[in-house]
Amino acid sequence: MRAEPLAERANRRRFLKPFAGEALSPPPMWLMRQAGRYLPEYRETRAEAGSFLKLCYSPALAAEVTLQPIRRYGFDASILFSDILVVPDALGQEVRFVEGEGPRLDPIEDASGLSRLNRNATGEKYSTVCETVSRLRSELPDETALIGFCGAPWTVATYMVGGKGSTDQAAARLMAYKHPDTFQRLMDILVDSSVDYLSQQVEAGADALQIFDSWAGSLADNQFERWVVAPTRVMVSRLREKYPEIPILGFPRGADQLSAHFARETGVDGVSCNTAMPVSAMAELADQTGKVVQGNLDPLLLVAGGSQLDERVDEILKAMQGRKYIFNLGHGILQYTPPENVARLVERVRRAA
Ligand code: CP3
């Protein structure tokens, strides 16, 4: 497949413009977790699917929920509906989602746990997800970009080793300290499999990629280097070799002062910033690194709504004016977000000229 040059694709899909070097006003916008339980139509499709993972593995229904926020709000980008835990699930570490409690996995505790993973088992699940990507590319409006994604190896490993979400990622951090060779082997498997997964998403029609490292902020700086920066750098360089122009966004949530270092060292094209990053620091990050910056409205402010929401949106837009910037939240939309507040936000961002 001969890829269309980025500059040409960006002429049709404004989300891609900042990656082609252009600062836009109003900036392109989309929201993390823009498809989800805050939308009644999502809850309906989710009920039809029967379970969250069945929804992820049903191309027709997964494409439908991806399109729902695009129909309502006309965002500049859609994001494939799936989950970062598809990767361990496809590798043979079965994932279950317990209602109201989040994901559950049989934890990998040592080297013998690693031997249960099968790198060659991912074919069917990855191709099912990629069928969603190709359906979407034909069903989306031509002007809407499609973002493919995966979890970063570190964040995915925290679930694989801990067996569930946690506030401190202690199980994975401890394995990384006590058994670094075993942990490195797990990370290598995740790097290989994630590159394979993202490559298939690009082949199926993804316009850009985002790597979610939601727990990057729990690591000491030397560990951040080894488990966040190094594996991401390998992933970016391998993807870049195959797809020189595909924009890649990193989301090292909580990386704070290490964000510029992350941006330079990994070679990502853009960095997504969490809410705690000062807007002045987001502007500096853009200026110092020359990368695209995305973020970072507080998702809770989108629940609150009102004039506080408007004022903060204006502050962020003003700070990022003239820079290669994509409007987004600092983390995913919360379940109890009123859909009308999202409409208010979109209107406010689009007003900016
Ligand atoms: O719209 C989109 O952003 C695309 C879909 C998407 C989902 N999860 C759907 C989802 C994306 C990009 C993700 C990423 C993801 N998944 C991350 C990284 C970003 C982040 O939020 O930090 C992580 C850590 C996960 C793992 C995960 N998935 C957890 C911990 C949970 C349970 C918590 C919860 O909100 O219930 C999920 C479930 C999940 N993933 C839901 C959705 C819409 C809700 C499940 C449901 O409908 O029952």
Q: Is residue 122 in some structural domain? A: yes
**What per-residue confidence (pLDDT) applies to 2?**
59
* Ligand 1 touching residue 158 (CB < 6 A): no
Measure CA of the first residue to CA of the last residue in the chain; give whole Å.
38
**What per-residue confidence (pLDDT) applies to 100?**
85
Question: Helix-strand-coil percent breakdown of the chain, rounded to 5?
Answer: 55, 10, 30
Domain span at residue 235? 6-350
**What per-residue confidence (pLDDT) applies to 98?**
87
Query: Which residue's entry shows tokens 């191709």?
Result: 127
Q: What is the pTM of this model?
A: 0.97
Under 8 Å between Cβ of 254 and 217:
yes
**What per-residue confidence (pLDDT) applies to 352?**
76
Q: Is residue 155 in some structural domain? A: yes
Closest by CA to 45, choosing from 63, 70, 59, 65, is 65
Q: Is residue 1 in some structural domain? A: no
* Ligand 1 touching residue 43 (CB < 6 A): no
- Give the residue, out of 29, 33, 81, with the most ligand 1 atoms within 8 A of its beta carbon, to mutate for a pocket test: 33
- 3-state SS, one letter per residue, for 165-190: CCCCCHHHHHHHHHCHHHHHHHHHHH
Q: How many domains does the chain have?
A: 1
**What per-residue confidence (pLDDT) applies to 22?**
96
Give me ligand 1 centre to Cα 64, in Å: 17
Give me ligand 1 centre to Cα 214, in Å: 11
Q: Which atom of ligand 1 is nearest to the CA of 333?
A: 3
Nearest CA to ligand 1 atom 24: 214
Give me ligand 1 centre to Cα 83, in Å: 6
Give me ligand 1 centre to Cα 302, in Å: 18
**What per-residue confidence (pLDDT) applies to 1?**
53
Give me ligand 1 centre to Cα 102, in Å: 9
- The verdict on whether 37 is a catalytic residue reads yes
**Active-site pick, 159, 197, 253, 312:** 159
- The verdict on whether 83 is a catalytic residue reads yes
Q: Tokens in use for 66? A: 């991806």
User: 268-278: buried (b, 16+ CB within 10 Å) or exposed (e) per residue?
Assistant: bbbbbbbeebe
Q: What is the pLDDT along the chain (353 residues), one digit of tens a residue?
A: 557 899 999 999 999 999 999 999 999 999 999 999 999 999 999 999 999 999 999 999 999 999 999 999 999 999 999 999 999 999 999 999 988 889 999 999 999 999 999 999 999 999 999 999 999 999 999 999 999 999 999 999 999 999 999 999 999 999 999 999 999 999 999 999 999 999 999 999 999 999 999 999 999 999 999 999 999 999 999 999 999 999 999 999 999 999 999 999 999 999 999 999 999 999 999 999 999 999 999 999 999 999 999 999 999 999 999 999 999 999 999 999 999 999 999 999 999 76
- The verdict on whether 33 is a catalytic residue reads yes
Q: Is 211 helix (H, G, I), strand (E, B) or coil?
A: strand
- Give the residue, out of 34, 84, 89, 159, with the most ligand 1 atoms within 8 A of its beta carbon, to mutate for a pocket test: 84
How far apart are the C-alpha atoms of 157 and 187, rounded to whole Å? Answer: 7
Give me ligand 1 centre to Cα 43, in Å: 14
Under 8 Å between Cβ of 183 and 175:
yes
Q: Is residue 202 in some structural domain? A: yes
* Ligand 1 touching residue 156 (CB < 6 A): no
Output 125-128 pairs: Cβ under 8 A, ≥24 positions apart: 125/57, 125/86, 125/89, 125/90, 126/86, 126/90, 126/196, 126/197, 126/200, 127/200, 128/57, 128/59
What lies within 8 Å, CB to CB, of 5 at 6+ separation is 245
What lies within 8 Å, CB to CB, of 88 at 6+ separation is 95, 105, 117, 156, 159, 160
Q: Is residue 104 in some structural domain? A: yes
Q: Is the dihedral of CA 323, 73, 9, 146 positive or negative?
A: positive
* Ligand 1 touching residue 254 (CB < 6 A): no
171: domain CATH number is 3.20.20.210
Q: Is residue 265 in some structural domain? A: yes
**What per-residue confidence (pLDDT) applies to 196?**
98
How far apart are the C-alpha atoms of 314 and 99, rounded to whole Å? Answer: 37
* Ligand 1 touching residue 73 (CB < 6 A): no
**Active-site pick, 83, 89, 207, 269:** 83
Closest by CA to 269, choosing from 254, 252, 285, 290, is 290
